[in-house]
Amino acid sequence: MLPDPRKRPDPHVHWVQMSEKYERLLAYLAESDDWVTAGELADRLGVTTRSVRSYVTAVKTAAKPLEVIVSSTSGYRLNREAYATFLADRRSRDSEPGSPRERVHVIIRSLGDSIDGLDVYDLAAGLFVSESTIEADLRKAKLLVEEAGLSLVRRGSTVALSGTELNRRRLLSRLFRDESAQGFLDLENIQREFSSENLAGFKSELIAMLDGNGYFVNEYSINNVLLHIAIAVDRVGKQQSIDPADDQPAADAELDVSPQLDELIRSHFGASLGARELRYLSVLLTTRVLTPGHGQPAESVASSYLDPDDLAAMRDIVRLASDEYLVDLNDEDFIVRLSLHIRNLVARAQENSFSRNPMTRSIKGSYPMIYELAVFIASQIQRREGIVVTEDEIAYIALHVGSYLERQNLREERVTCAIVCPNYYDMHLMLRQKLEAELGTELQVDVVITRADVDWPALSSDIVVTTIPVPTMRDNVVLIQPFLTEGDLQAVRRAIAAVRRHRRRMEIKDELLQYFDERLFYRNVEASSEAELIRMLGGAMVSLGVIDESYVEGAIERERMSSTAFTDTIAVPHAMAMTASRTAIALVVNESPMTWGDNRVNVIALIAFSASGRKAFQNVFDQLVEVFSEREDMQRIVRGSTDFASFIDALVHVMDV
Kindly state whether residues 208 and 259 are assigned to the same domain.
Answer: yes
Which CATH number characterizes residue 540's domain? 3.40.930.10
When the pLDDT of each residue in the chain is averaged and rounded to a whole number, the result is: 85
Kindly state whether residues 282 and 214 are assigned to the same domain.
Answer: yes
The C-alpha torsion from 452 through 457 and 459 to 463, rounded to 10°, is 100
CA-nearest of 220, 212, 200 to 260 is 212
* CA–CA separation, 589 and 520 (whole Å): 11
* CA–CA separation, 531 and 534 (whole Å): 5
Which CATH number characterizes residue 396's domain? 1.10.1790.10
Mean pLDDT in residue range 72-77: 88
Within a domain: residue 506? no
pLDDT at 338: 94
Kindly state whether residues 288 and 302 are assigned to the same domain.
Answer: no
* CA–CA separation, 551 and 467 (whole Å): 57
Is the CA virtual torsion 154, 160, 163, 169 positive or negative? Answer: positive
Winning range, highest mean pLDDT, from 266-275, 345-354, 530-539, 597-606: 530-539
pLDDT tens for residues 375-418? 999 999 999 999 999 999 999 999 999 888 876 654 456 899 99
Instruction: Identify residue 177 by its one-letter amino acid code.
Output: R
- Looking at the chain, how many residues does it have? 657
Kindly state whether residues 534 and 634 are assigned to the same domain.
Answer: yes
Within a domain: residue 181? no
Kindly state whether residues 565 and 640 are assigned to the same domain.
Answer: yes
For residue 21, name the pLDDT band (cuts at 50, 70, 90). low
3-state SS of 274-296?
A: CHHHHHHHHHHHHHHCEEECCCC
More confident residue, 45 or 15: 45
Within a domain: residue 170? no
Within a domain: residue 12? yes
- Of 91, 112, 132, which residue is a domain's last? 91
Within a domain: residue 504? no
Which CATH number characterizes residue 122's domain? 1.10.10.10
Range of the domain at 441: 415-497
Kindly state whether residues 521 and 652 are assigned to the same domain.
Answer: yes
Mean pLDDT in residue range 309-325: 94
* CA–CA separation, 413 and 302 (whole Å): 36
What is this structure's pTM? 0.72
Kindly state whether residues 39 and 80 are assigned to the same domain.
Answer: yes
Kindly state whether residues 584 and 611 are assigned to the same domain.
Answer: yes
Phi (first) and psi of residue 390, to 5 degrees: -80, 170
**pLDDT(353) > 60:** yes
Instruction: Identify residue 243 by its one-letter amino acid code.
Output: D
**pLDDT(348) > 90:** no
Mean pLDDT in residue range 70-86: 86
Beta carbons of 86 and 66 less than 8 angstroms apart: yes
For residue 426, name the pLDDT band (cuts at 50, 70, 90). confident
How many domains does the chain contain in total?
6
Contacts of 396 (CB under 8 A, 6+ apart): 220, 341, 345, 355, 357
Beta carbons of 464 and 500 less than 8 angstroms apart: no
Instruction: Identify residue 283 by its one-letter amino acid code.
Output: V
Within a domain: residue 168? no
Neighbours of 513 (CB within 10 A): 13
pLDDT at 12: 40
Which of 115-119, 129-133, 253-257 has the lowest average pLDDT? 253-257
3-class state of residue 389 by DSSP = coil
Within a domain: residue 171? no
Mean pLDDT in residue range 25-45: 82
Within a domain: residue 179? no
> What is the Cβ-side half-sphere exposure of residue 468, based on CA atoms within 13 angstroms?
16
C-alpha pair distances (Å), 70 with each of 26, 176, 257:
12, 32, 52
* CA–CA separation, 137 and 144 (whole Å): 11
For residue 215, name the pLDDT band (cuts at 50, 70, 90). confident
- Of 91, 121, 152, which residue is a domain's last? 91
Kindly state whether residues 241 and 262 are assigned to the same domain.
Answer: yes
**pLDDT(304) > 70:** yes
pLDDT at 465: 95
Kindly state whether residues 380 and 420 are assigned to the same domain.
Answer: no
Kindly state whether residues 529 and 639 are assigned to the same domain.
Answer: yes
Report strand pairing: 443-449 vs 415-420: parallel
- Of 380, 407, 434, which residue is a domain's last? 407
Kindly state whether residues 537 and 607 are assigned to the same domain.
Answer: yes
